[in-house]
Structure 1
Amino acid sequence: MSIKNISLSGKKVEASRKKMSFLESIYFIAILKGMMITIRHFFKKKITVQYPEQKREFSPVYRGQHVLMRDQEGRERCTACGLCALACPAEAITMTAAERKKGEEHLYREEKYAAVYEINMLRCIFCGLCEDACPKEAIFLTKSQEMVKVGMDRESFIYGKDKLVVN
């Protein structure tokens, strides 16, 4: 048995190390314990879901795909107030406001509208605070399990109005 004096912040602490047996030194017991855990999990029920054929059950409070809603006349509800972007803790929402021009009354409800509305889905944490903050009920998180597009680069995960606005 060896004893070492260790100094931690000016105080002396004595640490002792127990001599290992032969089985402990070759890690035989540790290997057996690991193999027992592996064998126990091997015979458990599989939890894999075969996705296209089977759908997984989600919680009733599940929040899925973002959508920008239109009113009854087909006009965009978003007025580019920016409250959803301010409420987003992940700072995933960016927008650019623009003024409505003559002849665009059938496209937008208010004088101001979101010319650019983007959500970075890689940053989004699906908290629903943007939905709660919107005074015009323009943005909603649906129960949809499928995302619009799966991509291999970062730009494909930035959803613009073309992917978000409901037709």
Structure 2
Amino acid sequence: MINNIKKLVKNFSLSELRSGMKITAKELVNKKITVQFPEERTPISPRFRGLHALRRYPDGEERCIACKLCEAVCPANAITIESEMREDGTRRTTQYDIDLFKCIFCGFCEEACPVDAIVETQIFDYAFVGSRDGSIIDKARLLEIGDKNKKMIDKTKLEDAKYR
């Protein structure tokens, strides 16, 4: 009987509503931490692993020597490489594909590369439009990403060097 009376008083006094309004009133006066994403960006660690890119040497030649270490170390089997010998006796890639649906962005490919050809940039806002075909990035697209973001890649590599 007493429990029923307590329950009735609690229901009619709207205690849950008052406690919720108390929390709301507290949050009204607190400083907001919302970031308006496309216009504002939060700082990103130099060790962040985002979209992949292939780098070039300063003379414009691609760095990848087709050693296939990145393909071997990839735990998700997301990297596919085909290579051939050139006339000057060096080996270069003819196909370098990364399936971003499979990729787990672990950074092993970047760590395994002996010539720093493959890097993971700080680009995290990309989308696949249409079909699954957009998730497979080929060599031309990887080189384009590397060329377009060269300054950012060099800057983050320099900042990250003290941790290696």
TM-score exceeds 0.5:
yes
Q: 2:7 aligns with which of 18, 21, 33?
A: 21
Amino acid corresponding to residue 99 of structure 1 in structure 2 = E
CA RMSD of aligned residues (A): 3.4
Partner of 1:46 in structure 2? Answer: 32
Are 1:97 and 1:115, in contact at CA under 8 Å, matched by a contact in 2? yes
Of 68, 78, 88, the residue aligned with 1:93 is: 78
1:14-163 → structure 2 map (5 Å cutoff): 21-22=7-8, 28-89=14-75, 91=76, 93-102=78-87, 105=88, 110-111=90-91, 113-142=92-121, 144-145=122-123, 147=125, 149-153=126-130, 154-163=132-141
Query: In the TM superposition, what is the alpha-carbon distance from 1:94 to its structure 2 partner?
Result: 1.9
Query: Could you give the per-residue CA deviations for residues 60-87 of structure 1, whole angstroms, max 9, x where no partner exists?
Result: 4333432111234433222333322333
- Relative to the length of structure 1, the TM-score reads 0.61
Inter-partner Cα distance in structure 1 for 2:102 and 2:29: 38
How far apart, CA to CA, are the structure 2 residues paired with 1:101 and 1:50?
50
- In 1, Cα distance between the equivalents of 2:133 and 2:23? 42
Counterparts of 2:60 and 2:47 in 1: how far apart (Å)? 28
Identity over the aligned pairs, expressed in percent?
Answer: 35
> Would you say the 8 A contact 1:95–1:117 is kept in 2?
yes
Larger Rg: 1
**Residues paired across the two proteins, number:** 142
Question: Which structure shows the bigger proportion of residues in helix conformation?
Answer: 2
Hey, which of these two has a bigger chunk of strand by percent?
A: 1
Greater relative CO (CA pairs within 8 A, separation 6+): 2
Structure 2 length as normaliser, TM-score? 0.62
Gap runs ≥5 in structure 1: 1-17
- The structural deviation recorded for 1:123 is 4.1
Question: Structure 2 unaligned runs (5+)?
Answer: 148-164
C-alpha distance 117-33 of structure 1, shift in aligned 2 (>3 A): farther
Distance 1:118 1:30, change over 3 A: farther
Aligned counterparts of 1:110 and 1:161: Cα–Cα separation in 2: 18
